[in-house]
């Protein structure tokens, strides 16, 4: 995993602003009654599009769950074909449409109005993050003989929206069928850590972008180890804050909202005061979402 310097990350965030962009208000989606009633249990309509009013029109709908404990919404795609004047399901999948945080920025890559095209016998599904140069996944499905097949599946990844750029073909299902396609979506892990080096007088380090705890320790080899150093705070998205008292004792805290730096500072100050620290003072606070 590429480790992004905080100054570079902040500069990039100021230009592309993927992590902190305000959600835009959209008109609630609508769909024909037979499509709306096909919603899987516990999922609501997120987007609907069709090829038009042809007697044999094609359509697709995306349904999503409510937010889980990590504030992630999961999606189901259902593709329909019109028969006898109504849309009937052709296939469904939980592995084609990304979840609401399945990008390196932990933002939502699905925007049906902007990047999905539904034509007779052809579905173009593009999903992209909001990097300065977006990472994107493009799927092309074709209907042949009444069955939907995968024509192509490509993924371009641009680290942090500006760094290393790679393009790959996603593995196609052995069946060749769209219903069996797995776009390999997941929520990338980027740990944010405050590390205290007791051997060096409680020197602190703020670390960002590690995929695992082991990866973090490996990156510190030669400078910090488990015997000499302590993880004061470690979490993913949000803010982490370091406070010291008059004797330079370190206290830390983390909070989940990357837009509320003050909450992390308040929590760290409270920890310092609760421990009987005198003249508690903030040293540093970082806020992150995803890779930034």
Residue 71, number of CB atoms within 10 A of its CB: 12
Q: With contact defined as beta carbons under 8 Å apart, do 95 and 109 qualify?
A: no
Residue 12 in domain: no
Q: Is the pLDDT at 1 greater than 70, yes or no?
A: no
Q: Is the pLDDT at 179 greater than 80, yes or no?
A: yes
Q: Which residues form the domain of 198?
A: 191-288
Same domain, 196 and 175: no
Q: What DSSP element (H or E) covers 207?
A: strand 203-210
Query: Sorting pLDDT into bands at 50, 70 and 90, what band is 164?
Result: confident
Q: Give the DSSP letter of residue 24.
A: P
Same domain, 134 and 200: no
Domain boundary among 135, 156, 180: 180
Instruction: Give the pLDDT confidence score for residue 19 in this predicted structure.
Output: 36
Share of the chain above pLDDT 90, in %: 89
Helices (H), the chain: 6-16, 33-36, 112-115, 213-219, 261-274
Q: What DSSP element (H or E) covers 173?
A: none
Residue 14 in domain: no
Sequence-ordered list of residues with C-beta below 8 angstroms from that of 226, at least 6 positions apart, any chain: 217
Q: What is the phi/psi pair of residue 122, to 5°?
A: -150, 125
Residue 8, number of CB atoms within 10 A of its CB: 13
Answer yes or no: pTM beyond 0.95: no
Same domain, 209 and 173: no
When divided into structural domains, the chain yields a total of 2
Long-range contacts of 11-17 (CB under 8 A, 24+ apart): 12/132, 12/160, 12/161, 12/162, 12/292, 13/292, 15/132, 16/130, 16/131, 16/132, 16/161, 16/162, 17/130
Q: Is the pLDDT at 105 greater than 90, yes or no?
A: yes
Q: With contact defined as beta carbons under 8 Å apart, do 101 and 72 qualify?
A: yes
Same domain, 72 and 164: yes
- CA torsion angle 152 48 157 11 (round to 10): 160
Query: Sorting pLDDT into bands at 50, 70 and 90, what band is 163?
Result: confident
Mean pLDDT of the chain, nearest integer: 92
Q: How many CA atoms lie within 13 A of 55 on its CB side?
A: 1
């Amino acid at each position: 995993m590429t480790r992004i310097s905080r100054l570079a990350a902040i500069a990039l965030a100021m230009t592309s602003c993927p992590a902190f962009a305000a959600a835009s208000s959209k008109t609630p989606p609508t769909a024909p009654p037979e499509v709306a009633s096909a919603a899987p249990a516990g999922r609501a309509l997120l987007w609907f599009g069709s090829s038009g009013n042809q007697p044999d029109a094609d359509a697709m709908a995306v349904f999503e769950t409510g937010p889980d404990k990590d504030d992630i919404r999961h999606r189901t795609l259902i593709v329909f074909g019109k028969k006898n004047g109504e849309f009937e399901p052709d296939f469904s999948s939980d592995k084609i449409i990304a979840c609401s945080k399945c990008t390196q920025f932990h933002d939502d890559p699905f925007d049906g109005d902007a990047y999905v095209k539904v034509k007779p016998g052809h579905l173009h599904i593009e999903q992209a993050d909001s990097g300065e140069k977006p990472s994107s996944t493009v799927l092309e499905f074709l209907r042949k003989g009444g069955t939907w097949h995968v024509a192509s599946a490509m993924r371009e990844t641009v680290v942090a929206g500006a760094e290393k750029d790679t393009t790959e073909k996603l593995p196609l299902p052995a069946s060749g069928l769209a219903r069996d396609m797995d776009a390999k979506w997941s929520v990338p892990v980027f740990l944010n850590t405050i590390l205290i080096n007791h051997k060096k007088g409680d020197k602190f380090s703020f670390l960002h972008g590690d995929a695992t705890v082991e990866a973090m320790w490996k990156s510190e080899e030669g400078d910090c180890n488990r015997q000499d150093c302590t993880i004061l705070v470690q979490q993913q998205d949000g803010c982490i804050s370091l406070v010291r008292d008059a004797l330079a004792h370190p206290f830390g805290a983390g909070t989940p909202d990357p837009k509320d730096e003050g909450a992390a500072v308040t929590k760290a100050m409270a920890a310092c005061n609760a421990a009987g620290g005198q003249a508690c003072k903030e040293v540093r606070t970082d806020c992150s979402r995803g890779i930034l």
